[in-house]
Amino acid sequence: MNKKYISLSLALVMSATMSGQNKNAPVNEDESKVQAFELPDLLTCTGGERVETAKQWEKKRRPELLKLFSQQEYGVTPRQTGIKVKHELVSSNPKAMNGLATEKQVRFTFTGKNKQTHQALLLLYIPNHAKGRVPVIVSYNFHGNQTTTFEEDVLFSPSRDLMKKAGSDNWVRGEQASRWSYELALQRGYAVATMNYHDICPDSPALMEHGIPSLLPNYNVESREANEWGAIGIWAWGYSRIADYLVKEKQIDKDCMVVLGHSRLGKTALWAGVQDKRFKVVISNDSGCGGAALSKRVFGENIARITGNFPHWFCPAFNAYSENEASMPFDQHELLALVAPRHVYVASAEDDSWADPKGEYLSAYYAGPAYQLYDMQGLPSATQPAVHQPQHYDVGYHIRSGKHDVTAYDWQCYLDFCDKVFQTKSDR
């Protein structure tokens, strides 16, 4: 190999690393190789001041941390997007799921200041037997509303045409039904609302312009400012737009809204739940790197890998921590803590080492001191519980057997936790 070639490849590797594009960075999945690391202290402000009260937390430390996550990880959510939203009931079926639920399908039409429009489709199930207003679980799906159930009248999410790869079985009716325990949730008195996340913003840098970004003047994911939001920020914004609709639904209890997400959508649920206080329970299912898992353990997926493979998810400033987690002035336990005094729940799967189950647990554990400020109880032990031993304090956690997925067991745990939080009325 000649010298010129060597220095050229070195330059390429260096610039890739500096901009966080190192898809091939090494990955550690061996617990014995986790290096000692120091977590930033949740209750010590940047200037060194110690937080002793909930008031100090709310006035100083919480805003300071929120700013760090906005500017360094997910990007700043614009205060005003100028986007208007119209809702239209497309269909209503009072006898869905064998009479268990009323099914509503609602078209969201977003109009930007530039007069461009964009549409998304919400699917909502409301339990029929419930008297009065009911709690609701809001959760995006990966491949369209029609994949979450075999109910024939569920419309295909509009993003299918854009996102479905030819010949793939994804996007087929019922394909992801095992991830959606609708009947269980409905029987227990919960409404469930879902939307395809690509309807808000297609999950590909090349296709984002077919979503909400088309309504944002001057937004270009490839040439963003260091702190400009990315796809996770835009999806989180979309969760809030769903909440805007649900608070106006007569049968929904607006004080009992839950946001739940799996994997990349678990990262999104956390970021949405942190910013939007209308979500009273925030649930991260197997969210891993950039979600619940501590970055500084550098176990499983790491920042170099995630920013390399998914450059559009976070803001460009996050790339600075690629292969340099030790330099981070924050970590994900502080994100979870921002949900306090509302409730956060983290779930892991035993065979999901890519998402670092232990790092997910520790993060939930180290969020505890924020809850103590409110006389609430975080997770009691730094030792991760065994599988199928849910821990339901003011912070919730469980790890189940099996792979990266959402299962009926996960739903059952979430419903038990929400019941406890909402002290479900017997008539639900």
Residues forming contacts to ligand GCU in the complex (CB under 6 A) are 263-264, 288-289, 301, 306, 354
- Residue 143 CB, shortest distance to ligand GCU, in Å, is 12
One-letter amino acid of 136:
V
- Count the residues in the chain: 428
- Residue 170 CB, shortest distance to ligand GCU, in Å, is 13
One-letter amino acid of 415:
L
Residue with smaller CB distance to ligand GCU, 110 or 354:
354
Residue with smaller CB distance to ligand GCU, 301 or 394:
301
Instruction: Tell me the residue ranges of DSSP E strands in 220-329.
Output: 252-262, 279-285
Residue with smaller CB distance to ligand GCU, 289 or 338:
289
- Residue 228 CB, shortest distance to ligand GCU, in Å, is 21
Instruction: Give the distance, in angstroms, between the CA of residue 354 and the centroid of all CA atoms in the same chain.
Output: 17
Residue with smaller CB distance to ligand GCU, 191 or 231:
231
Residue with smaller CB distance to ligand GCU, 313 or 414:
313
User: Residue 138 corresponds to which tokens in the numbers above?
Assistant: 């809001």
Residue with smaller CB distance to ligand GCU, 45 or 207:
207
Would you call 121 helix, strand, or coil by DSSP? strand
- Report residue 301: phi and psi, to 5°: -60, 135
d(CA 34, CA 46): 27
- Residue 378 CB, shortest distance to ligand GCU, in Å, is 24
Q: How far from 74 is each of 164, 199, 232, 405, CA to CA, in Å?
A: 27, 19, 7, 24
Packing angle, helices 264-275 and 231-246, rounded to 10 = 60
d(CA 175, CA 180): 11
Residue with tokens 């040439």: 223
- Residue 352 CB, shortest distance to ligand GCU, in Å, is 9
Catalytic residue among 263, 295, 353, 363: 263
Residue with tokens 């995006």: 140
- Residue 291 CB, shortest distance to ligand GCU, in Å, is 7
Give catalytic status of residue 263 as yes or no.
yes
User: Residue 104 corresponds to which tokens in the numbers above?
Assistant: 């509503």
In 85-181, where does DSSP find H-type helix?
A: 160-163
Residue with tokens 């400009």: 228
Active site residues: 263, 404
